[in-house]
Amino acid sequence: DAGVIQSPRHEVTEMGQEVTLRCKPISGHNSLFWYRQTMMRGLELLIYFNNNVPIDDSGMPEDRFSAKMPNASFSTLKIQPSEPRDSAVYFCASTLLGGLAKNEQFFGPGTRLTVL
Amino acid sequence: GEDVEQSLFLSVREGDSSVINCTYTDSSSTYLYWYKQEPGAGLQLLTYIFSNMDMKQDQRLTVLLNKKDKHLSLRIADTQTGDSAIYFCAEAFQTGANNLFFGTGTRLTVIP
């Protein structure tokens, strides 16, 4: 298995532009998580889905952020409009709900977003 | 709410043992985890312990859990330069929600 796939790996954009981050979870996994990592705030959970349904989006910072999971093999995190303070590394992770009790989450390599 | 805390930095000499500590506030956790993040990469599960265990050993890694004090530690024996990374502790609850609560991460630097 290729693991969790994220694209792009790096994104540089200007303030005000729309940014779309993409994630393909591990095949067979039914829970997907979006995290944001910064030096100041560490690792923050933004939103997670179970069986393509958003369960908890309380970590989404503002209405400028939205996430979708149209099917079991694809999710997007969109920022519109983007701001410099959105600069961070965004991770996607997946796991199997109801699978091995140890609850391991598998992380993608991350997307490093820079908003100028 | 859940609060998982770690010290931010730790430096050790190659060959010495490293001990990374973590404290948490919610005693209803079922599993506790240690994840490792190498530079430029995502987090990877290193080891985990079930909440009814006190200790787990896996090669150079020893996990100690003190439920009374809500304290988790990770000991790395014979620390190598390849162990330099950020280490996160995390906890899970028996809620069926499947999400984890991560600590702030400890950056381990191994000095040759």
A56 in contact with B, Cβ within 8 Å: yes
A54 lies within 8 A of chain B by CB: no
A26 touching chain B per CB within 8 A: no
Mean pLDDT by 10 residues, chain A (116 residues): 92 97 95 92 91 92 94 97 96 82 83 97
Distance CA A63, CA A39 (A): 23
Give the pLDDT score at B99.
76
B92 to A103: CB separation less than 8 angstroms, yes or no? yes
Q: What contacts B52, CB < 8 A, 6 or more positions away?
A: none
Pick the residue from chain B with its C-alpha nearest to A5: B42
Tell me the pLDDT tens digit for each residue of B50-69: 888 999 999 999 999 999 99
Q: What is the mean pLDDT of residues B32-48?
A: 92
Interface test with B, best of A105, A106, A107, A112 (most B CBs within 10 A): A105
Q: Which residue of A has its CA nearest to B86?
A: A42
| Residue B93: band (very low, low, confident or very high) from pLDDT cuts 50, 70, 90 | confident
C-alpha B97/C-alpha A97 separation (Å) is 8
Q: Do A93 and B43 touch (CB under 8 A)?
A: yes
A106 contact residues in B (CB cutoff 8 A): 45
Paired strand residues for B11? B109
Please name every residue paired with B32 in a beta bridge, in sequence order, or none if there are none.
B49, B91
Nearest-by-CA chain A residue for B102: A43
Which pLDDT band, with edges at 50, 70 and 90, does B94 fall under? low
For residue A114, give the 3-state DSSP assignment: strand
Q: What is the pLDDT of residue B33?
A: 92
Whose CA is closest to B4, among A44, A89, A91? A44
CA separation for the pair A75, B86 (Å, rounded): 27
Q: Cβ contacts (< 8 Å) between B43 and chain A: which residues? A: 43, 91, 93, 105, 107
Which pLDDT band holds residue B29 (cuts at 50, 70, 90)? confident
pLDDT of residue B2: 65
Can you tell me the distance from the alpha carbon of B78 to that of B56, in angstroms, rounded to the nearest whole number?
17
The reported pLDDT for the residue numbered B98 is 65
Chain A positions touching B31 (Cβ under 8 A) are 101-103
Q: Is the pLDDT of residue B97 over 60?
A: no
Tell me if B102 and A95 make a contact (CB, 8 A cut-off).
no
A38 in contact with B at a CB cutoff of 8 Å?
no
Q: Nearest-CA distance from B48 to chain A in Å? A: 7
pLDDT digits (tens, 9 = 90+) for B30-39: 889 999 999 9
State which amino acid sits at residue A47. Answer: I
In angstroms, the separation between the Cα of residue B70 and the nearest Cα of chain A is 19
